Amino acid sequence: MATQEANNKITLSKATILKQNGMVILPLQEYKRLCEDAAIMTYHLKGKEAEKLDCLVKDGMDEYKAGKTIKADSLDEALKIYERKKSNKH
């Protein structure tokens, strides 16, 4: 929590904030956590893999907008519900 001591002020100029497109002030622990998360590898798919994933995401978003998604507390539960719905259609 911030204290009201006059000698502990931080001053940032508006020009600096605009030049940097904003500023973020957060606790050191949160900053360290964010840095660790950024160290996780990111994969970029190309070609057919990317197209298949794009279609999968688009289909998922369409189903979400149509209210056809499954609500569950876990992935395992969601898969069981999905399989039941799928078997009831046949």
Give the pLDDT confidence score for residue 58 in this predicted structure: 92
Give the pLDDT confidence score for residue 76 in this predicted structure: 92
Give the pLDDT confidence score for residue 38 in this predicted structure: 73
For 25, the token pair is 């002030």
Residues 4, 31: Cα–Cα separation, whole Å: 24
Q: Using one digit for the tens of pLDDT, what is the confidence trace for 30-83?
A: 988 888 877 777 777 889 988 999 899 999 899 899 988 888 999 999 889 888
What are the helix (H) ranges across the chain?
14-19, 28-38, 48-65, 75-89
The total of other beta-carbon atoms located within 10 Å of residue 50's CB is: 11
Residue 78's Cβ-count burial label (10 Å; 0-12, 13-18, 19+) is middle
